[in-house]
Amino acid sequence: MSLTPSLSTNTSHHALAAERRAACRGDFYRVDDAAATWYPKTMLPLTTDLSDLDGVPYFLWNEPTTVRRLREILSDPENVMRPLYAARLMREGRVLDVWQFLTLQDILALWPQVERHMGRRRDFWRFLLDTWKEIGAL
């Protein structure tokens, strides 16, 4: 069985029904709705080495998205998942790791969409952005 069955190219009624049956059985869960990608419930090992493009970053512990895929999502301004993944990175990742994926301009542009997903880190990032504005760094 393939580790990442994707039926995104086959959208027939039977293919969609097969996806729903797999989800109901609990064999797979959907990660990327835009690509209609289903992943097995067994998880891949996490990594803190963000140069390992095939590794799963530690801050995406609940889904098997690789560093390579995360970079693709975050570098595509048209990707509807970009704000969600930016928020996950900013919320769960170390601050120094955020800069490996996003620029300050990216964060400022995404902030209105990202802020509501920031949870306990919202005040921290708001403080950083406000302070940088006050001292004229932005």
Question: Average model confidence (pLDDT) for the chain?
Answer: 80
Q: Tell how far CA 96 is from the center of its chain.
A: 17
The domains of the chain are located at 1-42, 43-134
Cα–Cα distance for residue pair 91/44, rounded to 1 Å: 21
Banded model confidence at residue 114, pLDDT cuts 50, 70, 90 = very high
Cα–Cα distance for residue pair 119/23, rounded to 1 Å: 28
Cα–Cα distance for residue pair 27/25, rounded to 1 Å: 6
| Strand 56-57 versus strand 46-47 pairing type | parallel
pLDDT for residue 72 is more than 80: yes
Average pLDDT over residues 85-104: 95
CA angle 62–5–49, rounded 5-degree value: 40
